Structure 1
Amino acid sequence: MRVSTFLWFDGPAEEAAEFYTGLFADATVLDVQRDADGAARIVVFEIAGQRCIAHNGGPGYTFGTAISMYIDCDTQEEVDDLWAALTEGGEEGPSGSLTDRYGVTWQIIPRALETLLAGAGPDAAERVLAALGTMTRIDIQGLADARDGGGDPV
């Protein structure tokens, strides 16, 4: 058995798959199935071992924010680079979320957030979460400053 992410597009499945796999070093397009006219119908790709299937199914369905692609980043540079690439032509959202140019929602979350919360007492955790609530692209140093009582997160 295999679990994959299935993405329904109205035309740009191949373009989106090429864009996504171009963002990650460990990503590749595995297969493209075309219709009789040569247009891509199904594009199978993989990002960091996660298999995704992009389907050009027409206008029947649209993406929503209840489901998103979650990327946990090691560094602020990774957060910043992915944020810049995925928001180009898209839209920033709250607390590390964004919707890309294809309508797919992403969560760009630094691993440091988990560490900052796990090592924090209740007051410090509340300050971290309050600071997070004011951010679009997450700033690790801003969260650390909030945990330590610096700055004004609200």
Structure 2
Amino acid sequence: MNPSIQKISPNLWFNNEAEEAARHYVSIFNDSKITRVTHHGSEQNEHHPVEEGTVMTVEFQLEGQQFVALNGGPQFHFTEAISFIVHCESQEEIDYYWEKLGEGGDEKAQVCGWLKDKFGVSWQVVPANLSTMITDPDRAKAEKVMKALLQTKTKIDLRALEEAYKG
């Protein structure tokens, strides 16, 4: 295998917004870039007729994680069954990603730190220490954090979780 190829890469199926989505995500995350764009040739697909020269795939990186975005047609749609977790070190970082990823998205799909962006992709914007807090060996502390988390209606309030953790 080519050493520059990541062993596992998420492939995101879009109708025809792959390039727009990749550019949007790259504009939000640091250390991010579009690495390759491929275009349809003269081949035709009976399930998804495409015009020669239109974008087929966009390869991009977000914070070093490689992704592929495919313009595959309208057959498939994103669901909350798959989401991307953004681990944040501060409330400011949570606020930033929540605003940028949620802009134009489905406000009804915002709960407990989860949101759906304008392309239908689900994201979890969470504190980096959330896993540590909810798996603490002191079950009382962990349960208080989980209770506070489950009461969150939209974006996570890091201070509320940390207060619940400290008791």
Normalised by the length of structure 2, the TM-score is 0.83
1:112 aligned to which of 129, 143, 160: 129
CA distance in 1, matches of 2:119, 2:22: 10
Alignment of 1:14-25 (within 5 A): 14-25=19-30
User: Which residue does 2:58 correspond to in 1?
Assistant: 43
The CA deviation string for residues 17-47 of structure 1, in whole angstroms up to 9 with x for no partner, is 0000111111100001122543211000011
Opposite residue 69 of structure 1, the aligned amino acid is: F
CA distance in 2, matches of 1:9, 1:59: 7
User: Which residue does 1:138 correspond to in 2?
Assistant: 156
2:97 aligned to which of 49, 72, 82: 82
CA distance in 1, matches of 2:83, 2:164: 27
User: Which residue does 1:27 correspond to in 2?
Assistant: 32
Q: Which runs of 4+ in 1 moved over 3 A?
A: 117-120
Is the Cα–Cα contact under 8 Å of residues 94 and 134 in structure 1 kept in the other structure? no
Deviation at 1:113, TM superposition (A): 1.6
1:9 aligned to which of 11, 14, 17: 14
CA distance in 1, matches of 2:62, 2:17: 18
User: Which ranges of structure 2 fall in alignment gaps of 5 or more residues?
Assistant: 2-6, 42-51
User: Which residue does 1:147 correspond to in 2?
Assistant: 165
Is the Cα–Cα contact under 8 Å of residues 8 and 57 in structure 1 kept in the other structure? yes
2:111 matches 1:94? yes
CA distance in 2, matches of 1:115, 1:35: 46
Opposite residue 27 of structure 1, the aligned amino acid is: S
CA distance in 2, matches of 1:117, 1:60: 38
RMSD: 1.6
The CA deviation string for residues 104-144 of structure 1, in whole angstroms up to 9 with x for no partner, is 00111111223433556222211110110111211110111
User: Which ranges of structure 1 fall in alignment gaps of 5 or more residues?
Assistant: 150-154
User: Which residue does 1:124 correspond to in 2?
Assistant: 141
Deviation at 1:146, TM superposition (A): 1.9
Helix, strand or coil for the counterpart of 1:93?
strand
User: Which residue does 1:152 correspond to in 2?
Assistant: none
